[in-house]
Structure formats: structure tokens, C-alpha cells
């Protein structure tokens, strides 16, 4: 938008829309965070959500990887979390140090659910801190690279809200969709409505590209994905542009979907109104390109675990990946197949990015 500094590097915005670009743009899921010593320094043992809610600190952490990898990274992603939607829906969420998210009162019964369904969510008010952080970050970025807004996929958020944290068996989430499918749909719809408004208002605040993280997609069977995930992802992709028009945003804002593990849904995701489909590392890039038929831009998909490898092997795998996706000649954005790990060496990630630039420019 015009009241922000002009974007100097809009490579990712052009690639997402399917324009021909000089080289595939690069960014990394979870690029801001625990593997960076400067993150720990700034976070300074503060509570995770307190860090997100402080615009000054959140914007600093967002910009850290852009600064460290100056010229190598083509986007910033706002420092926040997918679990801020459940918080805005009235649920308590804590981030336990070294353990991950914890909901002290997860949704286990229809009565629990009713309280959430009845809760009137005021997105602008409840997530006002997120919009402030986005606006401040966009100004501080000074147009160096575009800024991502994001949210969790409705199914993934249902998982956290019912399990109360991470899970291995998904006992409660599976119980919900198989014991109370209608109520599960009511919850998914409510999350979707909040997600549409949240994403749209992130754009008003300054986000220039959006990603939806359906991180637990692959826990659903193909049939259940079609019922409990895909329709809501579709709604998000369809409704956000309409809401943005209502809000007076004239630009077309690229939208990315990442449904981790949902390999069976690639063809459907390629025709779901998203501009970009992000792939985990289970995909052979060539097969994904064949299925896509140039309908969307593909993003991904290096196994982040490759960062524990030797330089020779990193180079080999970057080459396989970029060539597999068709190099600079196809609709493609470089990324990992999932997020960074806390144990990764920032210098190895730098080498990875340099190789992506070198090989992507060949």
C-alpha cells in the first residue's frame, strides 16, 4: 500500500503470481527463531507470547534473518504463531519452554465446545497487537523484502484446541471428527471465519503475501481431508480476496497453502484458488510439477534435515531440488519442506541460501 516504503525486491510476489523471474526467490519456514543466537539474545527468557505481543521485539526478531542473510532471503515472515487464533477465540494457550504449546483447558466435550462457539470474537480488538507488529515491521523493513502474514489451517487449529498441545495419536481430534462430525464442522467454520478476517486485516496492517499452515493435514485420510480440511482451506482462499476488496485493498495479494503430509491432495490444492502450493519433502519435485500443470507456483521442498549434512551433499540436493522444479524457468519458490530446527547452524543455512542463488541463477 502506498503509505509504506516502496518494495525494492518483489521477486517473491512476482513468482507467486506466475510471472517470469530472474531466479527462484528464497525464504525458509520458521526462518526467525531459535537457531539464531540473536533471537535468544533479544527474547532474553521472556515468555513466547509476550515476545510476539511486543511490536518492537517481534519486528526486530522478524528482521533478524533478513539482516543476517542480506541479499539471500527474499521475504520476511512476521514473528507470531498459529495459536493466536485460538487465543482470540477465548482459549488460554501457554508456550512451555522446551516443550511447546499447552492449552490448560482443551475442548473435550460438546459443552466445552459450546463456550467457544458462543464466544464473540472481535479480531481487530483481540489481535490488535499482531496488526501493530506487522505495521511496525513493514515500516522498519523499508521495502527491502515483502512481509508475510500467516495463520494456521482450521483443521490444524482444531487439533491443538482439542488435543491441548502437540500429539502423536491425535486421539481427541479424531474422536471429535468421528463422534461429533457436525459439531466439528461448526468449530472448523468458526475458525475459518476468524482466519479470513485475521488474514485480511494483516494485509490492511501491511502484510504483502499470506501463508496458511495446515501442518497436521497429513494426519487425515484423503477422504477426511476432503471433508475436514480442504473445504475450509478453499473458503479461506476464496473469501480473503473478497474481504480485501471490501476493505479497499486494490492489489492482488498472493496466497500460499502448506498442507504438510497431504500428498494425496496436491491436484485439488492446485485448483483451490491459492496462488502457491507449498510441498513437504516427501514429493519428488518432477512428479509435483507434472501434477501441477503450471496452475500454481510450487514452493519447497528440501528436507530441513539436509542442513545437518556435508557441503557436498547440500549442494547436490539443492541442485536436484531446483532442477526438479524446473529451475528459473518454472513457477517456483525455494523453501524447506518444513521449518528450521533449533539445532541448525546459521552458517550452514547461509551456505544453503548461497547455493540456491548460484544454482537458481544458472
Residue 356 CA to residue 69 CA, distance in Å, equals 13
Give me the sign of the Cα torsion angle 171, 174, 176, 179.
negative
SS3 content of the chain, % helix, strand, coil (to 5): 50, 10, 35
Min CB(120)–ligand CP3 separation in Å? 25
Min CB(327)–ligand CP3 separation in Å? 26
Min CB(316)–ligand CP3 separation in Å? 26
Min CB(31)–ligand CP3 separation in Å? 5
Here's the x/- map for ligand CP3, 95-134, by CB under 6 A: it reads as x----xx---------------------------------
- Residue 117: CB partners within 8 Å, gap ≥ 6? 186, 187, 190
Q: Which is nearer to ligand CP3, 79 or 228 (CB)?
A: 79
Min CB(342)–ligand CP3 separation in Å? 7
Q: Which of 57, 73, 77, 134 binds ligand CP3 (CB under 6 A)?
A: 77
Q: Which of 302, 291, 287 has its CA nearest to residue 334?
A: 302
Q: Which is nearer to ligand CP3, 26 or 83 (CB)?
A: 83
Are 247 and 204 in contact by the 8 Å Cβ rule? The answer is yes
Residue 269 CA to residue 354 CA, distance in Å, equals 30
Q: Which range in 31-39, 220-228, 246-254, 288-296 contacts ligand CP3 by CB under 6 A?
A: 31-39
**Is 48 near ligand CP3 (CB under 6 A)?**
yes
CB-neighbour burial class of residue 120 (10 A; exposed 0-12, middle 13-18, buried 19+): exposed
| Number of other residues whose CB lies within 10 A of the CB of residue 289 | 18
Q: Which is nearer to ligand CP3, 44 or 290 (CB)?
A: 44
Tell me the pairing of strands 297-302 and 94-96.
unpaired
**Is 162 near ligand CP3 (CB under 6 A)?**
no
Q: Which range in 23-31, 173-181, 281-289, 290-298 contacts ligand CP3 by CB under 6 A?
A: 23-31
Residues 204-233 that bind ligand CP3 (CB under 6 A): 213, 215
Min CB(134)–ligand CP3 separation in Å? 12
Are 31 and 24 in contact by the 8 Å Cβ rule? The answer is no
Min CB(178)–ligand CP3 separation in Å? 22
**Is 73 near ligand CP3 (CB under 6 A)?**
no
Q: Which range in 76-84, 180-188, 278-286, 326-334 contacts ligand CP3 by CB under 6 A?
A: 76-84
Mapping DSSP onto H, E and C, the string for 270-327 reads: HCCCCCEEECCCCCCHHHHHHHHCCCCEEEEEECHHHHHCCHHHHHHHHHHHHHHCCH
**Is 180 near ligand CP3 (CB under 6 A)?**
no
Binding residues for ligand CP3, total number by CB under 6 A? 22
- Residue 297 phi/psi, 5-degree rounding, is -85, 135
Residue 351 CA to residue 341 CA, distance in Å, equals 16
**Is 158 near ligand CP3 (CB under 6 A)?**
no
Are 74 and 26 in contact by the 8 Å Cβ rule? The answer is yes
Here's the x/- map for ligand CP3, 331-350, by CB under 6 A: it reads as --------x-----------
**Is 12 near ligand CP3 (CB under 6 A)?**
no
Contact residues for ligand CP3, defined by CB under 6 A: 29-34, 43, 48, 77, 79-83, 95, 100-101, 150, 166, 213, 215, 339
Amino acid at each position: 500500500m502506498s503509505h509504506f516504503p516502496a518494495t525494492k525486491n518483489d521477486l517473491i510476489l512476482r513468482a507467486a503470481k506466475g510471472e517470469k523471474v530472474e531466479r527462484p526467490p528464497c525464504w525458509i519456514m520458521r526462518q526467525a527463531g531459535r537457531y539464531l543466537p540473536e533471537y535468544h539474545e533479544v527474547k532474553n527468557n521472556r515468555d513466547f507470547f509476550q515476545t510476539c505481543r511486543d511490536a518492537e521485539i517481534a519486528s526486530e526478531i522478524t528482521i533478524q534473518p533478513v539482516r543476517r542473510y542480506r541479499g539471500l532471503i527474499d521475504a520476511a515472515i512476521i514473528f507470531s504463531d498459529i495459536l493466536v487464533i485460538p487465543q482470540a477465540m477465548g482459549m488460554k494457550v501457554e508456550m512451555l519452554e522446551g516443550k511447546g504449546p499447552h492449552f490448560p483447558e482443551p475442548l473435550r466435550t460438546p459443552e466445552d465446545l459450546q463456550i467457544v462457539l458462543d464466544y464473540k470474537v472481535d479480531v481487530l480488538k483481540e489481535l490488535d497487537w499482531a496488526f501493530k507488529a506487522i505495521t511496525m515491521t513493514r515500516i522498519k523493513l523499508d521495502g527491502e523484502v515483502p512481509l508475510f502474514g500467516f495463520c494456521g489451517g482450521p483443521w490444524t487449529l482444531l487439533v491443538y484446541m482439542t488435543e491441548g498441545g502437540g500429539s502423536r495419536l491425535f486421539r481427541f481430534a479424531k474422536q471429535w471428527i468421528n463422534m461429533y462430525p457436525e459439531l466439528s464442522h461448526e468449530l472448523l467454520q468458526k475458525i475459518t471465519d476468524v482466519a479470513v478476517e485475521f488474514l485480511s486485516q494483516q494485509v490492511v496492517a501491511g502484510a504483502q503475501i499470506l501463508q496458511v499452515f495446515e501442518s497436521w493435514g497429513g494426519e487425515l485420510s484423503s477422504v477426511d481431508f476432503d471433508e475436514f480440511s480442504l473445504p475450509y482451506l478453499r473458503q479461506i482462499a476464496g473469501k480473503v480476496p473478497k474481504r480485501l476488496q471490501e476493505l479497499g485493498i486494490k492489489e492482488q495479494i498472493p496466497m500460499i497453502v502448506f498442507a504438510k503430509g497431504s500428498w494425496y491432495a496436491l491436484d485439488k490444492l492446485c485448483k483451490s484458488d491459492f496462488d502457491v502450493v507449498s510441498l513437504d519433502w516427501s514429493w519428488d519435485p518432477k512428479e509435483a510439477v507434472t501434477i501441477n500443470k503450471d496452475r500454481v507456483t510450487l514452493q519447497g521442498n528440501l528436507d530441513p534435515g539436509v542442513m545437518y549434512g556435508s557441503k557436498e551433499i547440500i549442494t547436490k540436493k539443492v541442485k536436484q531440488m531446483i532442477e526438479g522444479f524446473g529451475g528459473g524457468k518454472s513457477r517456483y519458490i525455494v523453501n524447506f519442506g518444513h521449518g528450521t530446527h533449533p539445532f541448525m547452524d546459521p552458517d550452514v543455512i547461509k551456505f544453503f541460501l548461497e547455493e540456491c542463488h548460484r544454482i537458481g541463477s544458472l
